[in-house]
A and B are shown apart, each in its own frame.
Chain A
């Protein structure tokens, strides 16, 4: 406690004395991870309340926030918000003596961190710089220096709105993920200012090269590129961050949208800086692998003082640290012949039977472990019963699970709350077992949170009665399935084995608590070994920078043309799609609106729109069934007549009309050659319907006069029409 106070003192003295009205340091804690990594456990309990070395994760985050001098915390809860609120209300944090004021903000329709921040913005509770953190972060870093740097920067440059905390962590060369099980992040910084210039956390694995915009080096002579930095997901933000989320309502993900959006946007010029921590600890629990990694780090005291034997959390019972990093509650009942190996914690009230061997594991409170049980690398929560002769290897076993005699859990198994496994059953590796049936795949939209309707049941306070009835149902279910020979967790077992999401099974090992199997590593490194050939091939065909062949300027031009062409083709497609919607009854006005916005976003001119629209109309004509050119013409003429209002909207000047004619030529030559015999007929009908003016047609004809013979096919075809037009206009002149 004394230490806490000390740290806090230090950070408040670092606050600038010049600030007259001192704003208390605030924090936004997101008590929702907005992903599905911890399913199925999170169907029943929010992630932040899951025990991490027997203490709910949110405790670590709150304790850290308190230790760095944060005075007000806004806990944003979404999924299972009742549980979070209830927990906080009963915890020390909301007691009158707490030095930290914890306020919960609740929203049920937030599906992303972006939504959460928008809700918080609307509450207008943030008055100054704040710490943005999610409730599954464990850290013992001191924030004073980072905060000081952030404030100093802000004074000089109001555009420096965010400081990101990063830490060195080298991802594996084979799996390309860090020890926390997260994908490698590629970042680039300015070596002097530590400004973040580039951030990529979902690098496309098929891309062999990373492309940095040359603008990044326009002002500074050097930059550092890293893939060995880990994003701690602790950010010091200025209030502008919230308003940015407001302005950009499509920002969802903190990193993928917000950070990247800011880095790409050079209009506003907002800057993000980084602060690297070296000796202190910071990690976010993103998946089961990081759950295991962080648990071990806590037991090995990397997170000191947030460790089991320091009385940091109010709820902590008396823990005793033995040799080899074995933590044991004082009231553990352990058989003489049981062995508790290295880096293990046994919670209070648990009993361990004869000849059982436990190592590298966490055992919760009030657990009963029978005889000859072997537990290695497991996380066993509270009130778990493990009968004799069970073998558990790298599994997570939630509250109230009952394993009967001889159960074997292969690596990576997750047993959710109150699952029961029958005798002599082996649960295959990476299985996830829950009492709740797996939601259908449609629900598991990536951005969608923990569950939907199912979670409603769980949130009701009278869990026990509900579950028991459910159990009854489930058991009957099982009697049925047993009969059909499909028993999932054995006789007298209760639970569903979830199948993994859309073929994700192959990737299961990445995020599991189990160590990566050697065979997988060998396979991967073999793949890796094979890769470079591919990359070399690729590289050869499209020269990487540094490879400049004598003709590279030419190829460069080719490339540019290629992308240009792609662009316009894409644009055509987009317009067509919009147009198709118009067919299904969207108002024409709205179609124009949509096409206009497309035009702006693709940086196209009115003429391009006109061309693309015309193409869509023509295609409609083509799609309608026809057997002869005459029918085709009639179909097309009908469509043109139908859509001429929209077309005319884009035909403000002769230039655009000419564009249409040129487009039509292109269509006839390349896209739909069926039209080529009909060119002049359709042209004249376009004229008759006042879509094209005679000026446009005549100037098109005169433009084409100088062209190659091949370009003049259609002019020739329409010769009669053009001469007629010319004569008509001359007559007009004479009339005048």
Chain B
């Protein structure tokens, strides 16, 4: 905090409709368990590791804010200094920021989405931001291969084989500057519309569709505050604020503001220096052509202002995913106990799984690799668990098969059930011989004996 002079805002959201029936009043999105830890803890611990300990967590909805605040103060009492702010539901990410913007004082603000599960150090993003003295720096990471599809709740069915296209990103040849960004799947499906003036300034734009906006941004605080003030229609960071900054980067309106000039010297960059940032990659043509050109620009009373939008592109080896769909939820759970196991914070056994010492396993019951079994859960005889996460204090009978699934806390599963590719929320009861395939079962639901369900979303009305 003092080291970087960065303030951190975590946008924890509320109860996302996309994640029904997994989320509820009791379990807002930020508290959804990923490998038996609330998803928000991944972000908080990541920030802690970068020594960013002064945080503002913005939550949509009073109830959710209370729950999240309660959990944070319990879990991080001595470790982090967190203020939880509640905003009304549906204000959007920009609205959430607007609510807390006046409390911000540091030069730069790091904004992280609370549903991010990653091992990319936020410090790296912050450092890139500082190095370029950019107005905004966005973290981009390779798009997940079978990962979050924005298409909605029927996740499993529409599981795409190729990388999901979340964004269309335009980069300069050095891959440091963000020149174009299209977000959201409506936009991504349209034709690509690149601003000519930006192409002219750089000469070459690399258009990529295999990168994902990870929703971790570093903003220059004064610029962010101005935009929030002046553009009161802006609703979302990724759909309004970021595109606005990218679009106007060659004709900046933000640094025009007197407030910025007087407050921080860093923003008051001389326009001449500023103009060169994009031209630094240009080759000088072997002609006299360039000279009158330069002359032409200098003769202007005031050249136009520019600002920089930068990117930090995460290495291929880094893990980065956002919990924004049910598909993503399953994927992240699988990855955190699987290939990205270093994120879970647990130590794995020789069988490459985690079984809490207090868990009880019946005879001939097997728990395969990449599984997790939390404290107090009991399994009967002849059960088989593969690539699944089972929460605390679950009662599981005999002859139960659990594959590729997530079972949350206090779930009762009776004999002979078979669960595949499903998510079973807390306090659910599955009676005997229930068969679930690619289902989501909401908290407290009871599936009656012998029920067979496929690709369904089951929840209490």
List A residues at the B interface (Cβ < 8 Å). 168-176, 179, 184, 186, 188, 191, 203, 207-214, 216-217, 221-228, 293, 296-297, 302, 515-516, 518, 521-522, 524-526, 529, 531-533, 535-536, 539, 544-550, 552-553, 556
Contact = CB atoms under 8 A, between A and B. Distances in A.
A225 B194 contact: yes
Contacts of A216: 192
A214 B208 CA distance: 12
B191 interface: yes
A46 B264 CA distance: 64
A213 B288 CA distance: 37
B74 interface: no
A226 B296 contact: no
22 contacts: A170-B203, A170-B285, A172-B290, A184-B200, A209-B194, A210-B193, A216-B192, A221-B209, A223-B206, A225-B205, A227-B203, A515-B292, A521-B295, A526-B300, A539-B195, A544-B195, A545-B191, A545-B193, A546-B187, A546-B242, A547-B243, A548-B243
Interface stretch (B122-130, B245-253, B434-442): B245-253
B289 interface: yes
A150 B410 CA distance: 66
A209 B193 contact: yes
A548 B184 contact: yes
A212 B195 contact: no
A184 B200 CA distance: 9
Contact of A553 (B186, B235, B295): B186
Contacts of A532: 197, 248, 250-251, 304
B246 A221 contact: no
Nearest to B205: A225
Given A221-B209, A225-B207, A556 B296 contact: no
Interface string B225-248: 000000000010001101110111
B159 to A, nearest CB: 19
Contacts of A210: 193-196, 199
Given A186-B199, A525-B300, A544 B163 contact: no
B259 interface: no
B interface, size bucket? 35 or more
A227 B182 CA distance: 21
Nearest to A302: B286
Interface in B159-206: 163, 168, 170, 180-184, 186-187, 189-197, 199-201, 203-206
A440 B242 CA distance: 55
Contacts of B304: 529, 532
**10 nearest interchain CB pairs?**
A521-B296, A228-B203, A532-B251, A221-B210, A546-B243, A212-B192, A545-B182, A209-B193, A225-B205, A179-B289
A548 B193 contact: no
Contact of B181 (A170, A227, A546): A546
Contacts of A209: 193-196
A539 B196 CA distance: 12
A548 B189 CA distance: 12
B239 A544 contact: no
Nearest to A198: B192
Given A223-B207, A529-B303, A547 B196 contact: no
Nearest to A214: B191
A188 to B, nearest CB: 8
Nearest to A209: B193
Nearest to B179: A225
A221 B191 contact: no
B297 interface: yes
A546 B292 contact: no
B207 A214 contact: no
Contacts of B282: 170, 228
Contact of A174 (B187, B191, B288, B293): B293
B287 interface: yes
Contacts of B78: none
A210 B168 CA distance: 14
B192 A211 contact: yes
Given A539-B247, A545-B187, 10 more contacts: A170-B285, A176-B200, A191-B206, A208-B196, A210-B195, A217-B192, A296-B287, A518-B296, A536-B251, A545-B182
Contact of A222 (B200, B208, B292): B208
Contacts of A179: 285, 287, 289
Contacts of B183: 546, 548
Contacts of B193: 209-212, 544-545
Contacts of A524: 296
A214 B194 contact: no
Given A222-B206, A532-B251, A208 B195 contact: yes
A528 to B, nearest CB: 8
Contacts of A175: 293
A173 B286 contact: no
Contacts of B186: 548, 552-553, 556
Contact of B191 (A171, A213, A227, A548): A213
A293 B287 contact: yes
A225 B205 CA distance: 5
B102 interface: no
B189 to A, nearest CB: 7
Contacts of A545: 168, 180, 182, 187, 190-193
Contacts of B181: 546
Nearest to A216: B192
A85 B300 CA distance: 53
